[in-house]
Amino acid sequence: MSANTPLDNLRQEIDTIDNAIQDLITERTKVVEQIREEKRGQNIKIRPARECSIIYRLMERHTGPFPRRELARIWRELIVATLSFEGPFSIGVHIPAETKSDNIHHKLQCDYHSMIRDQYGSFTPMSRYVSATKLIDDVRSHKVSIGVLAMPKQVEQDAWWPLLASKATDTPRIINRLPFIGAPQGFATNIDALVVCPVPSEPTGRDHTFLIIETTEEMSLKKISKALKRAGIKQALTVAWQGTGANSRYLYLVEAIGFIKNEDNEILQLSEVLGINTSLIWTIGTYGQPLAF
């Protein structure tokens, strides 16, 4: 029998390492099962900030030539796979009815699916929603675990984010921004999305916070920007929405840099500068910043 070649020896070494990796996955899964027992009785078990912190930490300690984006995807698959042990996990994605050509719309759906799969796993059940209202209602009632909707824009006819303008405890909140680990291969469509789920916000150290400002009179975005600056809040985005009917209201969505809670001093300062009650300003979620490669 011929002796092993150097290549044979290297392959055997890889097999040994692969076995060790699989053994560690088994050990990790046992700990996840213990966590499941600790969470028994909770309707929602997802911890977005914890998931972000895991990826941030692992990317910071990574060395060597293995591609960081692919490594992040491997970890996302592992996180989502074990998350499913804790209870059913499914995704609803808002893709409006066809408004452009069939080819463009098909490409949009494919890009959304690729972007979501990178973050939430290759085999997680996913369903399309034409209605943002229906999707958010189903997230609220736990018919789907999370909802994915397009990043708000300055001008849009049917904005979905006013549906989150409620202080009810079961109202879905923004928990993530996609794509988180970079655009998928061949991803030509310039789209960003937000993820919603009715879970409390927790800091990651790399956060953006979404605020709602509600008024009965219209304010210019310039006035709001100045007020944010005076309150010490750095903004990344501000968009406006006006309701219809006799009791119409004005809503302003602010994406602020940093982690902000409703009781923080920045909210008090902003209300004083704008001349409105603090109850008319509240947070509707946060997200940990996407990875930069």
Determine the average pLDDT of the residues in 276-292. Answer: 95
| Mean residue pLDDT across the chain | 90
Judge whether residue 45 has pLDDT over 90. no
Q: CA dist 21 to 8, 24, 27, 66, 75, Å?
A: 20, 5, 10, 16, 13
User: Which pair of tokens denotes residue 44?
Assistant: 């929602």
| pLDDT at residue 107 greater than cutoff 60 | yes
Residue pLDDT, tens place only, 207-252: 999 999 999 889 999 999 999 999 999 999 999 998 876 667 899 9
Which SS3 state, helix, strand or coil, does residue 111 take?
A: helix
| In the chain, alpha helices (H) | 6-38, 48-61, 68-83, 102-120, 132-140, 221-230, 265-274
CB neighbours of residue 74 within 10 Å: 12
E strands along 216-268, which residues? Answer: 235-242, 250-257
Tokens 């001349």 correspond to: 275
Predicted confidence at residue 70, as pLDDT, reads 94
Structural tokens at position 14: 């890889």
Q: How many CB atoms lie within 10 A of CB 4?
A: 11
Contact 233, 252 (CB under 8 A): no
**pTM recorded for the entire structure:** 0.92
Displacement of CA 10 from its chain's centroid (Å): 41
Do 288 and 207 form a contact (C-beta atoms < 8 A)? yes
Per-residue confidence (pLDDT) for residue 105, from 0 to 100 = 67
What domains can you pick out in the chain, each with its CATH number? 207-288 (3.30.70.260)
The answer to whether 73 and 122 are in contact (CB under 8 A) is no
What is the reported pLDDT for 293? 77
Adjacent-strand bridge partners of 148? 93, 195
Amino acid 4: pLDDT: 85
